[in-house]
Amino acid sequence: QKEVEQNSGPLSVPEGAIASLNCTYSDRGSQSFFWYRQYSGKSPELIMFIYSNGDKEDGRFTAQLNKASQYVSLLIRDSQPSDSATYLCAVPPFSGGYNKLIFGAGTRLAVHP
């Protein structure tokens, strides 16, 4: 089992819709979870982090965490073409002393007008 798994996509949604991106992780000791956005040819940039079960909202973005199910998701409301990018889930595993991040392969999101 991979440490961090994401569907590679592409996930195609119409402009204005809700995009739902999912991530599962294997290390039950992981405490915090990061979502990075990466535009083509650019470096990753942090958009959200979450460490408590439940929802965390920041503008159009909502991160959801369920530690019992080892599942974290990212919802993007009112999707815009500018949201078209690859979204990377990243987890610092307990097995690494929380010193490093393990990234999923990323989900490519395409928002069409």
Partner 1 sequence: NAGVTQTPKFRILKIGQSMTLQCTQDMNHNYMYWYRQDPGMGLKLIYYSVGAGITDKGEVPNGYNVSRSTTEDFPLRLELAAPSQTSVYFCASRVDSPNYSNQPQHFGDGTRLSIL
**Does the footprint of partner 1 cover residue 31 (CB under 8 A)?**
yes
Spell out the alpha helix ranges (H) of 5-70.
Answer: none
Applying CB under 8 A, which of residues 7, 22, 49, 110 lies at the interface with partner 1? 49
The answer to the question of residue 17 lying near partner 1 (CB under 8 A) is no
Residue 78, interface with partner 1 (CB under 8 A)? no
- What number of other Cβ atoms are within 10 A of residue 60's Cβ? 14
CA distance 32 to 4: 13
**Residue 93 binds partner 1 (CB under 8 A):** no
- To partner 1, the closest distance from the beta carbon of 42 in angstroms equals 8
